[in-house]
Amino acid sequence: MSQRFSVAGKRILITGASSGFGAHFAIALAEEGADVVLAARRVEKLEATAEAVRALGREATVMPMDVSDHASVEAAFADMPAVDVVVNNAGVSHEGPTDELSEEDWDRVVDTNLKGVWAVSKFAIQQWRRDGRPGSLINIASILGLRVGGRVAPYTAS
């Protein structure tokens, strides 16, 4: 199979990297020669993923970040090494009937899944413009953006 692109030597920020797809993406990208910046709220879980990346001979930077908190994202980018690619992967859900959903639960999901993508993308783009170099944004989405899913209204909307 021909390789259409390479991530070798690139530094890639992955949000939601403490578990699930984010941790998987970190390992897969490191196996292809990328160094990674692992961002999430659960730092202790990030450390475990970082160790797995380092065992592959790649660099892993652990970055505490709550994508639903604009100030947290801004602070992380102030301390973060320059990145070439961003994988916006962080996401949460809340299950329950729409008419019983609290505004707080709705906001937690939308602020993470939608506003978080905007905030991380905003600061990445500012970094790339400041440094005069290109970058790439990869936004991970759910199949529920294309089909109906019951009892997860804010997740589907975001």
Q: Determine the 3-state secondary structure of 134 from DSSP.
A: coil
* Neighbour tally for 49: CB within 10 Å: 25
Q: Report the DSSP beta bridge partners of residue 119.
A: none
Is 27 in contact with 11 (CB distance < 8 Å)?
no
Task: Tell me which of 155, 156, 157, 158 is the catalytic residue.
Answer: 155
Residue 155 annotated in active site: yes
**Contact criterion met (CB below 8 Å) for 52 and 25:** no
Determine the number of helices (DSSP H) and then strands (DSSP E) in the chain. 6, 5
- Give the residue numbers annotated as catalytic, written as ranges: 155
